[in-house]
C-alpha cells in the first residue's frame, strides 16, 4: 500500500515509536520522526524537537511540511518516566512527566490539527499505557499523564469528529524491549504470570494496531481505547 498521507511519530528514534515508524514506512507512507537525539529508522525524516517546547514543535512541523508535505497522521508517542512512591515524589517529578507525556501530546496535536482541518482528513493516535487505566505503585505521575490521554482523545473526537478526523488511544502492556530483556528471569516470569497471554508483546504488535487505526478501515472508530496487553487490563 502507498499513500500520500504524511505521518509524524514523536519519539520515533527508539522503542515502540521506532517500530511504529518502521511499520508506516513498510506500508508506503512518507514518515517523519521527532527525536531529541539519535536518528529515526531508514526511510524516515528525523527532525529535532522537544515536545515540552511549543516553538520547537512548531519548527519541527514546518520542516516536515517543507520536505514531505502537510502532516495528516500524528502519533504522539514521546514519553518519560520518573518512578517513585507518592510521598517521595517531588513537584518536578510529577510536573515534568505530565508536561512531556500529556502536555507534549497537546502541543503536537494542536499544531497538527491545522493541517488536518485544511485537508478535511486526519488521524490522531495517542500512545498511552495499561498503567494509565490499571494503575501501578510508584507511577502516579506516569499513570496520571497516560490516563489523561483518554479524556484528550474523546474531547478531540467531539470537537473534530465531523471533519473526518479521528482520535484514538493505544494502550500497550508489557512490551519486549531492551529494558524488559535486562530483567532477571524470575522477575520476567512474575510479570508474565499476571498476563493471560503468558508473554510480552512485540513492538511490532503495537505498531500494527497503530497503522490500522491510521487506515481507511478504521475511519468509523474514534474516541476508543485499544489495549495491546495480552488481556492484562481486561479492556479497561
Could you tell me the CATH number of the domain that includes residue 108? 3.40.50.720
CB atoms within 10 A of CB 154: 18
Q: How many of the other CB atoms lie within 10 Å of CB of 2? A: 7
> Which of 134, 142, 191, 220 is flagged as catalytic?
142
- Candidates 157, 147, 197, 160; CA nearest to 176 is 197
**Mean pLDDT score across all residues of the chain:** 94
Mean of pLDDT values over 176-197: 84
Q: Report pLDDT for 100.
A: 96
- Give the model's pLDDT for residue 166: 98
| Domain total in the chain | 1
Per-residue pLDDT at 212: 98
Residue 75 domain-assigned (yes or no): yes
184 lies in some domain: no
Question: Any bridge partners for residue 9, and if so which?
Answer: 33, 75
Nearest CA to 123 among 84, 177, 74, 50?
74
Q: Tell me the whole-structure pTM to 2 decimals.
A: 0.95
pLDDT bracket for residue 233 (50, 70, 90): confident
Beta strands across the sheet bearing 6-10? 44-48, 31-35, 6-10, 71-76, 122-127, 165-172, 225-228
In a domain, 198, yes or no: no
Determine, yes or no, domain membership for 193: no
| pLDDT band at 236; cut points 50, 70, 90 | low
The pLDDT of residue 145 is 97
**Within-domain flag for 27:** yes
DSSP string, 101-161: HTHHHHHHHHHHHHHHHHHT-EEEEEE--HHHHH--TT-HHHHHHHHHHHHHHHHHHHHHG
What sign does the dihedral 106-53-99-21 (CA atoms) show? positive
User: In the prediction, which pLDDT does 2 show?
Assistant: 56
Span 108-154, pLDDT tens digits: 999 999 999 999 999 999 999 999 998 889 999 999 999 999 999 99
21 within domain boundaries:
yes
Instruction: Looking at the chain, list the stretches that DSSP marks H as alpha helix, in order from N- to C-terminal side.
Output: 15-26, 54-67, 91-101, 103-119, 130-134, 140-160, 178-181, 185-193, 203-214
DSSP designation for 37: S
Residue range(s) defining the domain that contains residue 38:
6-176+205-227
Report yes or no on 12 lying in a domain: yes
User: Known catalytic residue: 191?
Assistant: no
CA–CA dist 139, 87 (Å, integer): 12
Residue 103 lies in a domain: yes
> Roughly what angle, to the nearest 10 degrees, separates helices 54-67 and 103-119?
40
Quick: pLDDT tens for 52-108. 999 999 999 999 999 999 999 999 999 999 999 999 999 999 999 999 999 999 999
Amino acid at each position: 500500500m502507498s499513500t500520500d498521507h504524511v505521518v509524524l511519530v514523536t519519539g520515533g528514534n527508539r522503542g515502540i515509536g521506532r517500530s511504529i515508524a518502521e511499520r508506516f514506512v513498510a506500508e508506503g507512507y512518507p514518515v517523519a520522526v521527532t527525536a531529541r537525539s539519535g536518528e529515526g529508522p531508514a526511510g524516515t525524516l528525523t527532525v529535532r524537537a522537544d515536545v515540552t517546547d511549543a516553538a520547537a514543535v512548531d519548527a519541527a512541523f514546518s520542516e516536515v511540511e517543507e520536505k514531505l508535505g502537510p502532516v495528516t497522521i500524528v502519533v504522539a508517542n514521546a514519553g518519560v518516566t520518573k518512578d517513585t512512591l507518592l510521598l517521595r515524589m517531588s513537584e518536578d517529578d510529577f510536573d515534568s512527566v505530565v508536561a512531556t507525556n500529556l502536555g507534549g501530546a497537546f502541543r503536537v496535536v494542536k499544531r497538527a490539527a491545522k493541517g488536518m482541518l485544511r485537508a478535511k482528513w486526519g488521524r490522531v493516535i495517542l500512545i498511552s499505557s495499561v498503567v494509565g487505566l490499571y494503575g501501578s505503585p510508584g507511577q502516579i505521575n506516569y499513570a496520571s499523564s497516560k490516563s489523561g490521554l483518554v479524556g484528550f482523545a474523546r474531547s478531540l473526537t467531539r470537537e473534530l469528529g465531523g471533519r473526518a478526523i479521528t482520535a484514538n488511544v493505544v494502550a500497550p502492556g508489557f512490551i519486549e524491549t531492551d529494558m524488559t530483556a535486562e530483567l532477571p528471569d524470575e522477575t520476567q516470569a512474575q510479570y508474565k504470570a499476571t498476563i493471560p497471554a503468558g508473554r510480552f508483546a512485540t513492538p511490532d504488535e503495537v505498531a500494527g494496531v497503530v497503522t490500522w487505526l491510521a487506515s481507511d478501515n478504521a475511519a468509523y472508530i474514534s474516541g476508543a481505547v485499544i489495549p495491546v496487553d495480552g488481556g492484562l487490563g481486561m479492556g479497561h
